[in-house]
Structures are given as structure tokens and as C-alpha cells.
Amino acid sequence: MLRLGFIGAGTVGTALAVRLSSKDYRVIAVSSRSQTSARKLAQAVSGCHALNSNQAVADTAELIFITTPDDAIASVASEIQWHRKQSVVLR
């Protein structure tokens, strides 16, 4: 099963991560502008870790959800060095 990561731990990111985890998807990493939000999401999902950077999430997960505010999606996506065979979901 794919390892999922979240960039953005606000309302949308948290809801998706918790729901996917409850359906047995492996949510393993999260980063957010606020470390407090990232830690809160990680605590709500078994096996998930709050990481210090968006790049760290991209380096760890195979499917990454970018759930930042709409006006930040493009800049977040462009700052990451993506890996082959990764997929990205933009909210």
C-alpha cells in the first residue's frame, strides 16, 4: 500500500488524513506552516510523524496531498524536488 504524506495540516488536510487512516491507508508524514498543527494531526493518526519541512514529506511518501490554502499550492509544489513514481493530489 502506498505511503501517504500531507503538506498542510489545516481543516482539510486533517480531515482527509484521519479519514484515510480510518480506512487503513498508511498516512506516515505531515508538515505544515504551523508545527503545532502538524503535531496535532500526527497525534490523531497512528504511525504518522510531524516533519520539519515539506521536502521531508516528499522524500518520505509516495502519494502526497498538498492541502494548503489555494493561493499557496503553486509555490509549495514548485519548491519541492519531486521523485520519480510519486503522485501528488492538489486540493
Pure H helices in the chain: 11-22, 35-44, 54-60, 70-79
Answer for the pair 47, 54: CB distance below 8 angstroms, yes or no. no
Domain parsing of the chain, residue ranges:
3-90
Is the pLDDT assigned to residue 20 strictly greater than 90? yes
pLDDT tens for each residue of 47-72? 999 999 999 999 999 999 999 999 99
Mean pLDDT estimate for the chain: 96
Is the pLDDT assigned to residue 91 strictly greater than 90? no
Q: For 3-90, which CATH superfamily applies?
A: NAD(P)-binding Rossmann-like Domain (3.40.50.720)
Q: What is the mean pLDDT of residues 25-42?
A: 97
Q: How far apart are CA 50 and CA 23, in angstroms?
A: 20
Q: Quick count: other Cβ atoms within 10 Å of Cβ 86?
A: 15
Q: CA separation (Å) from 27 to 38, 49, 59, 74?
A: 13, 9, 14, 23
What pTM, to 2 d.p., does this model score? Answer: 0.96
